[in-house]
Amino acid sequence: MASTQMSLKLLIDTRVNRVLFAEAGKDFVDFLFTLLSLPVGTVIRLIANHGMVGSLGNLYGSIENLSQTYLQPNQDKEALLKPKAPISAGGVPLLISQDESQCQKLYMCPNPHRNVADDPNSVCPQCRSRMSNEIPYVARTWAEKASSDDGGYVKGVVTYMVMDDLVVRPMSTISSITMLNKFNITDVASLEEREVNVGMTEVR
């Protein structure tokens, strides 16, 4: 079962109570990078219950309130309000529920052509048959991905530095010193290291 918590080490300047940066592992960096692959509608839906404001929130609400009467007969509001997340996103902890990731299905032509679609009404470009044969997609669990060299996006043998503006870079002594100089830290006694766990509540 995938973990619901990710651990971060925060370096805090206690003089001004500011987080300078976080030391993060592969799991958290993979989570951040996977956010870039999510459809905008999915992102808005995930944060809409927590005071989403602005133009994108208004646009999402407009679609929600628009009557199906005004849409083309072959269009459905759900495709915009609840777009399918990429298949790979189902394996990232805290991102989407297992139900959402497992609802995605793939279909292929009944004839021996190697075309695949995510819509059973799609037509095979070679034989024009409807691609209605459902095929199973077997995804690795997050634990399997995290334990392998090729799972996720970044290598797991490295610790990463994550700034408050979401700049991510590999952690090193030089990068740490550079950050301390950037924030004019001259007294290291004012720094405090604090370990925190990030779960679904913090993510949303």
Query: pLDDT tens digits for the chain (204 residues)?
Result: 445 688 999 999 999 999 999 999 988 998 888 888 778 887 787 777 666 557 777 888 888 889 888 888 877 888 888 887 666 555 555 555 544 544 568 899 888 888 898 888 889 999 999 998 998 877 665 555 555 555 678 888 889 999 988 899 999 998 888 888 988 888 888 999 999 998 766 665
Task: Return all residues near 199 (Cβ < 8 A) that are at least 6 apart.
Answer: 4, 5, 6, 94
pLDDT at 188: 87
Q: Pick from 27, 36, 34, 37: which is nearest to 160 by CA?
A: 27
Q: Indicate whether 80 and 114 sit together in one domain.
A: no
Q: Indicate whether 18 and 111 sit together in one domain.
A: no
Contact present, 32 and 161 (Cβ < 8 Å): no
Beta bridge partners of 164: none
- Residue 169 within any structural domain of the chain: yes
Edge-to-edge strand list for the sheet holding 6-13: 168-170, 160-162, 18-24, 6-13, 191-198
Task: Return all residues near 11 (Cβ < 8 A) that are at least 6 apart.
Answer: 19, 20, 21, 22, 23, 191, 192, 193
Would the pTM count as exceeding 0.85?
no
- Residue 96 within any structural domain of the chain: no
Q: Indicate whether 11 and 109 sit together in one domain.
A: no
Q: Pick from 59, 31, 24, 33: which is nearest to 45 by CA?
A: 59
Domain of 119 in residue numbering reads as: 102-138
Q: Indicate whether 15 and 78 sit together in one domain.
A: yes
Q: What angle do CA 81, 44, 23 make, to 5 degrees?
A: 140
- Residue 144 within any structural domain of the chain: no
- Residue 1 within any structural domain of the chain: no
Q: Indicate whether 82 and 179 sit together in one domain.
A: yes
- Residue 95 within any structural domain of the chain: no
Retrieve residue 76's tokens: 């459905």
H and E: helices and strands count for the chain: 8, 8
Q: Indicate whether 171 and 113 sit together in one domain.
A: no
pLDDT at 144: 55
Q: Indicate whether 56 and 78 sit together in one domain.
A: yes
- Residue 91 within any structural domain of the chain: no
Q: Indicate whether 82 and 167 sit together in one domain.
A: yes
First to last CA, the chain: 21
- Residue 92 within any structural domain of the chain: no
- Residue 22 within any structural domain of the chain: yes
Q: Indicate whether 81 and 159 sit together in one domain.
A: yes
Q: What are the Cα distances from residue 95, in Å, to 10, 38, 155?
A: 22, 10, 20
Q: Indicate whether 18 and 115 sit together in one domain.
A: no
pLDDT at 149: 52
Q: Indicate whether 82 and 158 sit together in one domain.
A: yes
CB hemisphere CA count around 164 (13 angstroms): 8
Number of domains in the chain: 2
CA distance linking residue 138 with residue 155, whole number of Å: 23
Q: Indicate whether 134 and 171 sit together in one domain.
A: no
Q: What are phi and psi of 83, to 5 degrees?
A: -65, 155
What is the rounded radius of gyration, in angstroms, for the C-alpha atoms of the chain?
Answer: 22
